[in-house]
A and B are shown apart, each in its own frame.
Chain A
């Protein structure tokens, strides 16, 4: 019972390098999310996708791009990494076809990214 799977779990990048964080869910959920978590800041929403083929900006989208490849997969790309993007990144998914905003989200295990 995999749930939400993120890869990689750890990554160190040099400033200016690019990388893609991968996320896949096997629960047939419509909605997927990318968050970053910094000390004392809680979970801040970067981008989300309410359904296959749609993506929207969250609270902190600058420096990131996303792709909803299909219903299962939602990737986050850093085109030119900066030290300010050092953080723990979480992918999550939920299923709320009616848009009532009343279903729980399930989280991946997180990716710890360091940009030096």
Chain B
């Protein structure tokens, strides 16, 4: 298993729906996770970080971490066409020296 794995999608949701993006990870990463958003032709930008089990909410975004099942997810409520992008899950290696990314999930929100 790779350190961080994502379903590459694409994931298509209608405007106003909840988009659910998932990521699983191996024992070879640290226990901190990051969700980045990347628009086509642009650089990744951080949306959320989560370090503890449970949920963390920021506006329309909620990150969820389940350490027992080794998955982390990102929920986007009231999805907007402007949310259409690739979402990248990332974590550090166990030494905390290298940031490792999943392949990313492409989200398309239709109006």
Measured CB to CB, the residues of A under 8 A from B are 31, 33, 35, 40-45, 48, 50, 56, 58-59, 90, 92, 94, 96, 98-102, 104-105, 107-110
Partner of A99, one of B34, B51, B97: B97
Q: Which residues of B contact A33 (CB under 8 A)?
A: 98-99
Query: How far, in angstroms, from A108 to B32 measured CA to CA in the complex?
Result: 22
Q: Which residues of A contact B30 (CB under 8 A)?
A: 100-102
> Do B96 and A99 have beta carbons less than 8 Å apart?
yes
Majority secondary structure of chain A interface residues (helix, strand, loop or mixed): loop
> Do B101 and A43 have beta carbons less than 8 Å apart?
yes
Query: How far, in angstroms, from A102 to B90 measured CA to CA in the complex?
Result: 11
Partner of B43, one of A50, A100, A101, A107: A107
Give the contact-size bracket for chain B.
Answer: 20 to 34
Q: Which residues of A contact B92 (CB under 8 A)?
A: 96, 101-102
Query: How far, in angstroms, from A62 to B97 measured CA to CA in the complex?
Result: 20
Q: Mark B36-70, 1 if CB is under 8 A from A, else 0.
A: 00000011111001010000000000000000000
Measured CB to CB, the residues of B under 8 A from A are 6, 8, 30, 32, 34, 42-46, 49, 51, 88, 90-104
Q: Which residues of B contact A43 (CB under 8 A)?
A: 44, 88, 90, 101, 104
Q: Which residues of A contact B104 (CB under 8 A)?
A: 42-43
> Do A92 and B99 have beta carbons less than 8 Å apart?
yes
> Do A40 and B103 have beta carbons less than 8 Å apart?
yes
- Shortest Cβ distance from residue A94 to the other chain B in the assembled complex, whole angstroms: 7
Partner of A101, one of B8, B32, B88: B32
Q: Which residues of B contact A101 (CB under 8 A)?
A: 30, 32, 91-97
Q: Which residue of A lies closest to B43 (CB)?
A: A107
> Do B32 and A102 have beta carbons less than 8 Å apart?
yes
Partner of A90, one of B43, B96, B100, B103: B43
> Do A109 and B43 have beta carbons less than 8 Å apart?
yes
